[in-house]
Amino acid sequence: MTTQAKKKPGGKTITLTQTGSLYGNKPGMRETLIGLGLGKPRAKRELEDTPAVRGMIFKVRHLLKVDEKK
């Protein structure tokens, strides 16, 4: 049995676009980008706006473009 996270209806979402490459960065940044569902330049992902996601974005903010939606 697996449990899936339920999205709250009407919650804010964030669209992330990876703008930079992983090469030449600190070791933990690759794992953070993979945790966000990214990994290659120009990859896009829409995620729910939570404190955990915000913390990961803060760690790799120089490699991302962030668009907030309501």
- 14-50 burial by CB neighbour count: b if 16+ within 10 A, else e? bebebeeebeeeeeebeebbeebebeeeeeeeebeee
> pLDDT tier at 44 (50, 70, 90 boundaries)?
very high
pLDDT exceeds cutoff 90 at 16 = yes
Pairing of strands 64-69, 44-48: unpaired
pLDDT score recorded for residue 48: 95
